[in-house]
Each structure stands twice: as structure tokens, then as C-alpha cells.
Chains A and B, each alone.
Chain A
Amino acid sequence: MTTFTNIPKQIEEELEKWNVTPSRRNFLKSAGLLVVSFSATGTDPLITLASAQAPAGSQGAGPYHDPDFRQLDSWIVIHEDNTATFYVGKTDCGQGTGTSFRQLMSDELDIAYDKTTCIMGSTDITVDQGGSGGSTAMERDAWPMRRAAAEARRMLLEMGSERLGVPVNQLAVNAGVITVKTDPSKSVTYGQLVGGKRFNVALTGSDINAVTGVAKVKPVQEHKIVGQSPQRYDIPAKVDGSLKWAVDVKLPGMVHARNVKPPVAGAKLAGIDESSVRDMPGFIKVVSKGNYVAVVCEREEQAIKAAKQLKVNWEKPATAPFPSSEDLFKYMRSATPTSSSKPILVGNPDSAFSGAAQLVEAEYDVPFQGHTAISPAHALADPSNGQMTVYSNDMKSYGMRRGVATFLNMPQEQVRVVWMEGPQGFGRTAADDAGCEAAYIAKEIGRPVRMQWTREEETAWDTKGPAFAMKVRGALDAQGNLVAYDYNALAADYNHVGYNEPDTVLIAQLMGIRRATPAAGSAATPSEMYAIPHRRMTSHVVSLPVVWETPVRTGNLRDPNGPQATFASESFIDELAAAAKADPFEFRMKLLTASTDDDRTFRRARSIACLKAVAETYGWDRRSSPKARGAGNILTGRGIAYAFRGQTVVAEIAEVEVDRRTGHVWVKRLVCAHDCGLVVNPVSLRHTVECAMLHSLSRALHEEVQFDTEKVTSVDWNSYPTLTHADVPARIDVVLVNGDPNPNRPDLPPYGAGETACKPMLAAVANAIHDATGVRIRRVPFRDARVLAALKTGRA
């Protein structure tokens, strides 16, 4: 076997295997669906290569060194049959990013899309690009992939030049075949040049995002695969039941664990009566330290039963850990902030307010909302051979590896995380917590442990998007121009937990491990490009009374803080437009065109392009809101809102039907104009945007974490309702906009698209309800009872 030291062991093995079994048939076989299989007698599973994310190599074959991102071989393997495998340090939360990476890399490499596969996010196999987060897949993380693929193409052309005996500039390349331009009968394939062999090419770059070779990436105009919509490669196995997910992994000797959580926040463990479960079939052990308690049984249903049956004495804390959700906003508004941002100040708002013709003022409230993954958190940890392998869907597999190593006090080289598909991410889910719990228990009992949270646990204890209480004031001059604006936000976000932190994951908290200084958390200011001459924006964080060992804990939830802040800011712009008796679209356009200043990605120009596109697609007629209330039981209206996130700009229109008898709101139609620069896969992008809008529609209509003064009472899909089939709009239009002032520039970059469409939806729906009914709802969610009460009183 060739001795390689700095590329992933799995890639070495793949190359070796290829040298032994060079047929395409075998490659396809190995590139098929994930199979976790076992030798008849051994305890180590042999994991064969999976669809797109699967690792090879045998369990226990550590230590697991970091793949070297400055080696081209860590990114791309060319096989003798002229196919290629791409290795990327990303995970996919369900938006089809792997397919888009393949498109981008195939184009740079000049190979047919269907001759490639993509392997993602397992820490010993793929370079550390951090996994997922912040909608950075296309915007940031695809760049080193593209540059590596371009460099591979350059190297292959040099090799081809040597092989064919003609200079590189006399060669053409297409679909992995290099030909002599003047004599196409002379050709050589990538596979013939480097199939099954190393490139042995060092890349440069101070960090992984800067990785580059000598070659430059192609101009947009030379893309053949980017801009097409190949079907997502992960979907067939998701509809025929053959895909194996993190939740499906089975290992020999595996046992099942379930947590026993404190019944109220801040409770102290006073005693465990193990005799209450000791005689249950399959019972193995109660694992407990500090206030952390879990039971372990041979079979899954036994662990579920034992966790329910275990008698545990808990001491309630002396004081209530939080106000009830009913009193939350009153509490937040009277709390002393734990931190305040430096005010963003333009002009002289105080004097502008004092000279205004008309003042408008409003308060908006958004409650805590959950991730509430469709699959409760889970992980499988295998402690065999002194190593620790965690099979997890965690979006940040690399962070989990570091977190588990630190938490268990193990050298990082002995820990790996095998990333496999799971429920949608949406940010910091409890997958982080379950991974650390599985690993801890596995180390304690010396057997592979599968941890699975219950629905009640997931809904109550997963991290929440912070609640926001906002106040906005505006001043109009006599002509109805917005001349002064004052935005103030409070977010209940103190001790916002990060990803896989060994001093904030729940098991650590419950064991009494915690950082000295909790994370400050953050609030947010509006994300728009309006030119307002006098403006002040401030934001503050407030703390709940108890911030440790509590189910009311905050973490990043898809576009963290964006939907909350934009609910206030874009509702308020509509309130100002109504006060000025102006059309809400035209009022916004006036604010965007009042200045010609723009930024480096032309967000002002692109905001205008998106607003125009959304209005045109919807067929927006110019008039002020609200319209005259109809006589029938069903009132209809339309609402518009817009925002940016990072460099991506969206404008959305919601059309609603409000049943005045019940208060029920049905969003009948949605339109989105979306500008994220270069579009890699239009079908995949449209779908992601549709689903992001509907996710925020769910937050607008249904979602609120409710709690009394000691525990979360939203514990399942009845007490934490979500969008259903009945809520789905009859029609959704997504318009992909390229509002760049030079739309055909060869270096048009892709911007992130996973979250921006979430941002304006709450305000768009509130604005539509106002247009239909004349009633302004300033508190999320817009459940029937709240809307009905508002219709009756004329106030929300």
C-alpha cells in the first residue's frame, strides 16, 4: 500500500481499492446507498461507501487526523473510469447543497455532472469547512471547492500536454476528455491520466476559505452545468426507503438510552430509586451525574418504559425560573438590559421628531419559537477500541467532534463524527446535545449507545429563537414623507448557546459545568436600504431570571433575530404608509429611491429590482391600505414586505382571506422575488425559497413556546402547533431576480439562500390582515383567537 500521510485515510483506501478493482461497475456499487454491515463475528462494523455522505474504513481504525485542506487530493479523486468523487466539508440540512456543489465543481473540472459523486461532512474524511450554518454554502464555502476543481483541471491539462506531446494551448477539454484541437482523434481521458493516483499538488491559502491553486475559476459565461437543474441526487433514496440516516444506524452490541429530564427548570436531583426499574426486562443501568439522569436498556421500547417508570426525587428551586409566557413581554419591558448595542445614529432624530407633522408609534411582540425538529434529537456513539465515533446528523459535525473530545477529555484525534442525513437543521438544534449525551453514556458503559429524545423533550427543551419586544416611532412631514425614525428592540437572549460547546450543552449544564460568563446574546435592527434622513436604532438583551438548566434557552433559529426585527420594521413601514395614505409599495420605493448611495453588492439597486419584480408578478394595484372592509364573512387583502440578509435580497407579497366569524387567516397566495446573485440550481433554489417562506408562515400563524413559571407547557404538536396541509397557499410564485447593475458580469457571485426568504413573511401577512380588515396585529402568532379578538375590539 502506498504510504500517504496527509490526505484522509479513507481517500487513500479509495485509491488503493481502485487500483485493485478498476471496473466502473464496482465503483458504482461502492457509490450506492449507505450500508452499515457487520462481519458475522466481529464487533466492528464495516461501513461501505454511501450515496453522498458515507464514509469507508473500519470503526476503531483511529487515530483520526485532520484531512489537509492544502492538498488537492483531499478534495478530488479521479477514478480510472473517468469519474470523479468530490470531498467537501459541508453538511446538507435538506436544501440540496450537495447537488449544487457537484454542479459547481463539475463545471470547473470540466467533467459531466453524472460522472461525479459528492461526499460530505464526516470529520475524518472531508476537510473541515465547519459543516452548515449562516447560509454560507454557495456564498463562501463553494469557492475553495471551485478553485480546487479548477486547479485539478489545470493539472490534468498539463499532464495531457505531456502525454499527447502538444502544448496546453493547443488542447481542448470536454466532459473529462482532453483532445488535440487540430486533431481530435488524439485524446486522453482524465481517468487515463490520473485515475486511481494522487495529484500530489499542494494548494495555498491562509485558511480553508482562502484555499487556491494557480488556476482561476471560470467566468460565469463558461458555465454549462451551473444554472441547470439536475435533480437532487439524494431524493430517490429518500422516497423509496433505502437511505440510511443517522437515526437508522445499528451496531453490534448497541443499547438504547433515554433521558430523564428535571420536571421543572432548575430542579435539583435529590435521589434516584433504582429499584423502581431494576427488574424491568432489558434494564442495564441508570447513568447519573449532578442533575443529569438517563436510563440505558437493551431494547428501545424498554428504555422508553424505564425512563417513564424510574422514580426520581427532585427539589424545586426556591424562586420561579421565569415569568409565564403570558407575562413575558411585560417582564421584558421592565427588565434591566444585560447589554445594549451602540445606537446607530443618522442625522438628528430628536429635533426631527419635534418638528414633525404627524407622529406614529407602535409596539410589536414576537414570542419564543422553537426548532422542534420533525425527528427528535438523536445520536449513536461507539466507544470501541478506545476511540469515539459519533453517528450524527448535526449540521456542524466538526464542531461536534471538538465538543465531544473536550467534554469527554479525549484527544481530538480519537474522536470522529460520521455525518449522516437527519431532520432539517434550522440552526442550533438539540442534535448537539444528543451527541454529547450519547458519547458520555457510551464512554461510561463501554458499549455503543443510541440516544433518542422524546417528542415532549424535543419540543420543550430544544433551543428557541429569542422572544423580541420592540417599539418603533416615526415622524412624517406635511407631505407624508418619513423624516425621522426610532427603533428600539429588546431580545430575551442572554446566555444564547453556541454550537457543541462543552460548557453549554445540556448534559454539561445539568452536571454543573458552565462557563463563567454566559454569552451576551444579541438583538437586531432592521435590514433594509431605506434612506431616512434622521434615524436612531438601538437594541438590548434582557435575561430571564434563570439561564442555566432551563428549557427556555436560546440558540440560532433560521435567520436568527431576522423574522422578529423585520416583523416590527416592515409592519411599521406599512403603518407609516397608511398614516400617509400612500400605497405601501410606492411608499417603500420612495424610501429606496430617495438616495443613490449603494454598497459593494448594490443592495439598494437590488432591493428596488426585487420590489418591482414582486409587485409586477403579483399584479399589485396602487392604492392605500386598508381597503374598505367587505360585507361578506371572508375579508381579503394583500400585504408586502421586504428585507435583506447578508447580500441576498427578498421582497414578498401575501394575499390573505380572513374569516371574520372565526378569526381564521388563510394565506391564499404568496409571491417572492429573490435575488441571491448567481443561481446554481434554479429548481432547487425555488424549492428552498418556497419552504423558507412557509416556515416563516408557520411562525406567523401558529408558533409560540408557552410556559408557566416553572416549565414549558408546549410539549407536542397539539400544544406547539405548526403549519399543516390545510394552511398551504393555493398558489406560490418565486421569481429569481438578478438585480445587479451589471447582470452579465463574469464574476457574478452566488449569495446565501437558505434563510433570507424567512425574514419578511411575518410582516407581509400582518400587513395583508390589516389591508383586509383594517385591524393591525402586532403580536405573533396570528392564531384565530387573537385575530378574532382584534376584529371585535379593533385592536390587537
Chain B
Amino acid sequence: MSNITLKVNGRMHTLDVDPSTPLLYILRNDLGLQGPRFGCGLGQCGACTVIINGAATRSCITPASTVKGEITTLEGLAKGGKLHPLQQAWIDEQVPQCGFCQNGQIMTAKVLLDRHPNPTDAQIREGMNRTLCRCMTYYRIQAAIRRGAKMLSDAKAASKKEVVA
């Protein structure tokens, strides 16, 4: 056991844990952040995805001691009590069935849109491809990503207009 310090959703935490512990268990069991989920422990399904330094990262295979940089979890996406546009798009499209994998879908899509604000269908398929859903909500996820991209670009255009005005 040793002390490690993590910055998660803007807050610093110092914990006394085995440094090889995968980040997922610390987030879920010690910090009470249960948006990220255990799906495989092998980095194959994406249910555990968090964002570290802008990259979609599979927390189930990331030893806590190797994390350098700020972690964002699903709980940290909403700002000022307002859902991230992607989360809103997920509700508008009524995406989830069981919903268990949707943490990974939303977090992976967030990073995809950060990189490709107006993704092509091919970029969506490629960017999301290793994020699995056993309810097979993929068709709606892809629709929600397109909707979210439009909401984000509309918001950006609106804020530019405000600046100009």
C-alpha cells in the first residue's frame, strides 16, 4: 500500500492503496464514482471508460499509480447542473436499453467529438468501434452522436454570434 494522488472531476484525492490497483476499482469503490463500470477487466468492451488528458482511457486496465493528469468521469461531464449536449442527445434519441454500457459510449463519443467536431459516418464507426453494447443500441448511439455534434456546433455558432454582437 502507498499513497497516490488523483485529480478527478476537479477534485484532488489522496488514497492509501496498492499502486497496481486498476483505476476503475478506486473510482467505484473508494471515490463513489460509479459511472464507469466493470464489463471485462481486459480493456475490450469500454464500459469502464474515463477521460484522462483528453484521451478515452479504459480504467479497468490502467494501474492507478500510472495516471498522470486529470480524470473526468461520466459524473463530471455535466457543467453547472446542465447536462453535456451529448448526454442530452442521448435522452432525446432515447438511446439506452439496459444502459449498462452507455458510460463507455458517451465518454468515447465525447473524445471523438473533441477530435472531430463534425464526424463522418466512417469516423463515428471507426472511433466507436471497440465500445461494445450487448443490447445493440448502436444505431441510436450513432444518431445521438450526430445530434450531439450538431448541438455542439450550434452552441458554438451562437456563442460566436454573441461575441460579434
B37 close to A247 (CB less than 8 A): yes
Distance to closest chain A CB from B118 (angstroms): 18
Q: Does B165 contact A (CB under 8 A)?
A: no
CA distance A376 to B83 in the complex (A): 29
CA distance A426 to B97 in the complex (A): 12
Q: How large is the interface on A (under 10, 10 to 19, 20 to 34, 35 or more residues)?
A: 35 or more
Partner pick for B78 among A240, A247, A723, A724, CB 8 A cutoff:
A240
Q: Is the interface of B mostly helix, strand, loop or mixed?
A: loop
Q: Does B135 contact A (CB under 8 A)?
A: yes
Q: Does A239 contact B (CB under 8 A)?
A: yes
Q: Does A591 contact B (CB under 8 A)?
A: no
Interface string of A284-321 (1 = CB under 8 A from B): 00000000000000011110100000000000000000
Chain B residues in the interface with A (C-beta under 8 A): 1, 18, 21-22, 25, 28-29, 33-35, 37-42, 44-45, 47, 73-75, 77-78, 83, 87, 90-91, 94-103, 106, 121, 124-126, 128-142
17 contacts between A and B (CB under 8 A): A239-B91, A240-B78, A241-B103, A242-B75, A244-B34, A375-B37, A376-B40, A421-B99, A423-B134, A424-B97, A455-B39, A683-B94, A694-B138, A695-B136, A697-B136, A717-B40, A723-B138
Closest to B141 in A: A725
B25 close to A238 (CB less than 8 A): no
CA distance A716 to B40 in the complex (A): 8
B130 neighbours in A (Cβ, 8 Å): 724
B45 neighbours in A (Cβ, 8 Å): 374, 455, 717
Partner pick for B135 among A242, A247, A424, A728, CB 8 A cutoff:
A424
Q: Does A186 contact B (CB under 8 A)?
A: no
Identify the stretch in A61-69, A228-236, A592-600, A767-775 within 8 Å (CB) of chain B at 4 or more residues.
A228-236
B139 close to A235 (CB less than 8 A): no
> A residues 353-395 with Cβ under 8 Å of B?
372-376
B42 neighbours in A (Cβ, 8 Å): 455, 716-717
B75 close to A241 (CB less than 8 A): yes
B135 neighbours in A (Cβ, 8 Å): 94, 374, 424, 691, 695
Distance to closest chain B CB from A254 (angstroms): 10
B98 close to A301 (CB less than 8 A): no
B94 close to A687 (CB less than 8 A): yes
Q: Does A27 contact B (CB under 8 A)?
A: no
B97 neighbours in A (Cβ, 8 Å): 94-96, 424, 687-688, 691
A250 neighbours in B (Cβ, 8 Å): 29
Q: Does A53 contact B (CB under 8 A)?
A: no
A301 close to B100 (CB less than 8 A): no
Closest to B137 in A: A691
> A residues 380-437 with Cβ under 8 Å of B?
421-424, 426
B35 neighbours in A (Cβ, 8 Å): 241
Given contacts A239-B90, A240-B83, A455-B42, contact A723 B136 (CB under 8 A): yes
A423 close to B136 (CB less than 8 A): no
Distance to closest chain B CB from A370 (angstroms): 10
Given contacts A725-B131, A726-B125, contact A234 B25 (CB under 8 A): no
B25 close to A281 (CB less than 8 A): no
B126 close to A726 (CB less than 8 A): yes
Q: Does A452 contact B (CB under 8 A)?
A: yes
Q: Which interface residue of B75, B124, B137, B141 has the most chain A CB atoms within 10 A?
A: B137
Q: Does A93 contact B (CB under 8 A)?
A: yes
A684 close to B38 (CB less than 8 A): no
B87 close to A452 (CB less than 8 A): no
Q: Does A698 contact B (CB under 8 A)?
A: yes
Closest to B103 in A: A241
Given contacts A301-B18, A423-B100, contact A725 B138 (CB under 8 A): yes
A725 close to B129 (CB less than 8 A): yes
B91 close to A300 (CB less than 8 A): no
B44 close to A238 (CB less than 8 A): no
CA distance A299 to B30 in the complex (A): 10
B47 close to A374 (CB less than 8 A): yes
Given contacts A241-B35, A301-B21, contact A732 B139 (CB under 8 A): yes
A239 close to B102 (CB less than 8 A): yes
B101 neighbours in A (Cβ, 8 Å): 374
Interface string of A216-238 (1 = CB under 8 A from B): 00000000000000011011101
Partner pick for B94 among A232, A373, A374, A694, CB 8 A cutoff:
A232
Q: Does A722 contact B (CB under 8 A)?
A: yes
Chain A residues in the interface with B (C-beta under 8 A): 93-96, 231-232, 234-236, 238-245, 247-248, 250, 281, 299-302, 304, 372-376, 421-424, 426, 452, 454-455, 683-684, 687-688, 690-691, 694-695, 697-698, 716-718, 722-730, 732
Q: Which interface residue of B95, B99, B106, B131 has the most chain A CB atoms within 10 A?
A: B99
B139 close to A729 (CB less than 8 A): yes
B99 close to A235 (CB less than 8 A): yes
A96 neighbours in B (Cβ, 8 Å): 97
A243 neighbours in B (Cβ, 8 Å): 99
CA distance A238 to B140 in the complex (A): 15
Give 10 closest A-B pairs by Cβ, nearest first. A94-B98, A241-B35, A238-B99, A694-B136, A94-B97, A241-B74, A455-B40, A725-B128, A717-B44, A374-B134
Closest to B45 in A: A717
CA distance A449 to B126 in the complex (A): 40
A244 neighbours in B (Cβ, 8 Å): 34
B25 neighbours in A (Cβ, 8 Å): 299-301
B131 neighbours in A (Cβ, 8 Å): 725
CA distance A231 to B34 in the complex (A): 24
CA distance A304 to B99 in the complex (A): 25
CA distance A299 to B78 in the complex (A): 30
Partner pick for A374 among B33, B39, B75, CB 8 A cutoff:
B39
Partner pick for B41 among A235, A454, A724, CB 8 A cutoff:
A454
Distance to closest chain B CB from A705 (angstroms): 15
A304 neighbours in B (Cβ, 8 Å): 41
Distance to closest chain B CB from A32 (angstroms): 15
A238 close to B96 (CB less than 8 A): yes
B1 neighbours in A (Cβ, 8 Å): 281
Distance to closest chain A CB from B78 (angstroms): 6
A238 neighbours in B (Cβ, 8 Å): 96, 99, 102
CA distance A223 to B90 in the complex (A): 29
Beyond the given pairs A281-B18, A730-B121, 9 more chain A to chain B contacts, judged by CB atoms under 8 angstroms and listed by A's residue number, are: A94-B99, A235-B91, A239-B99, A240-B77, A281-B1, A375-B47, A695-B134, A722-B134, A725-B129
Q: Which interface residue of B90, B96, B97 has the most chain A CB atoms within 10 A?
A: B97
Q: Which interface residue of B40, B74, B101, B124 has the most chain A CB atoms within 10 A?
A: B40
Given contacts A687-B94, A691-B136, A691-B137, contact A716 B44 (CB under 8 A): yes
CA distance A724 to B131 in the complex (A): 7
B125 close to A93 (CB less than 8 A): no
A94 neighbours in B (Cβ, 8 Å): 96-99, 135
